[in-house]
Amino acid sequence: MYQVKELSQWGGVSIRTLHHYDQIGLLKPDLIGENGYRYYGDQSLERLQQILFFKELDFPLREIQAMLDHPGFDRQKALRAQYELLQSKKNRLETIMETVKETLLSLETGQKMKIKEMFKGMDMQAIEAHKEKYAQEVEERWGHTPAYKQSQQKTAHYTAQDWERIQARTAAIYSQIVAGMGRGPADPEVQAAIADLRQSFCDYYYDCTPEIFKGLGEMYVADERFTAFYENIQTGLAAFLSQAIAHYCEHLPG
């Protein structure tokens, strides 16, 4: 277990930065002593490394958090993408260096430069596009749906405390569902919890229409990353959830 100072020195960041990352939930200590001290383990080191790599590439912290917490985040894949992005950043730097050199030359020879040459390499669009590509790859097909956008808009203003409340509420619902797994997906209490779940989606993220909700339920078994996420909570939960949601959607009033 390492303390803040060690981490901050290794990572070349300030202690305040680690406090900040803790506050927004980007990098929580593995353990908090009864004196309030933050203690980090080896996993946190890896996570910090990932954070710093992404930060080097100018990803906003919120996106970094979303990517690292995405069920099915793949560290190897991420590292490979990071390498590529660093490469293009390097290329951009080299272009700028050429521009500087050419400018020097034009000063010495007294030759006027073309305007476009003066700013070659300065626009970030190429890299930004590249970045977006990776970020979208992580989010795959959800990135362009209107529901996703709404979710982004809503969650943009959530504070750290909001997130804690949301996580607490969601966890409570899942534990309700897990508790009812023995009684089958049509069990009234299970169905009530499913209704709660949908309501919480509506409250916190986006209009979770019956159609969307149905699609979500199907995805829980069709998409291995979601499956992994829920199986991790409880074996069999992914399939159970999927069935319970299907049942819920079929028996909606109206």
With CB under 5 to 8 Å by kind, the binding choice for 70 among DNA, a copy of itself, none is none
| CA pair distance 77, 242, nearest whole angstrom | 28
Residue 86: how many CB atoms within 10 A of its CB?
13
| CA pair distance 163, 126, nearest whole angstrom | 34
With CB under 5 to 8 Å by kind, the binding choice for 154 among a copy of itself, DNA, none is none
**Among positions 25, 30, 37, 236, the unique one binding DNA when judged by CB under 7 A:** 37
Question: Shortest distance, CB of residue 141 to DNA, whole angstroms?
Answer: 23
Alpha helices in the chain (DSSP H): 4-11, 15-23, 42-56, 61-69, 75-109, 115-118, 125-139, 146-155, 160-179, 188-204, 210-222, 224-233, 237-250
What x/- string results for residues 153 through 172 when contact with DNA is judged by CB under 7 A? ---xx-x-------------
> Which CB sits closer to a copy of itself, 48 or 194?
48
With CB under 5 to 8 Å by kind, the binding choice for 87 among DNA, a copy of itself, none is a copy of itself
Residue 150: how many CB atoms within 10 A of its CB?
13
| Pick from 55, 56, 28: nearest CA to 44 | 28
With CB under 5 to 8 Å by kind, the binding choice for 60 among a copy of itself, DNA, none is DNA
Q: Cα-flanking dihedrals φ and ψ of residue 32, to 5°?
A: -120, 115
| CA pair distance 81, 1, nearest whole angstrom | 30
| CA pair distance 101, 105, nearest whole angstrom | 6
Residues lying near a copy of itself in the complex (CB under 8 A) are found at 10-12, 45-46, 49, 52-53, 56, 75-76, 79-80, 82-83, 86-87, 89-90, 93-94, 96-97, 100-101, 103-104, 107-108, 115-116, 118-119, 122-125
Question: Shortest distance, CB of residue 93 to a copy of itself, whole angstroms?
Answer: 5
Question: Shortest distance, CB of residue 168 to DNA, whole angstroms?
Answer: 15
- Which residues bind to DNA, rule: CB under 7 A? 3-6, 13-17, 19-20, 33, 35-38, 55, 60-62, 156-157, 159
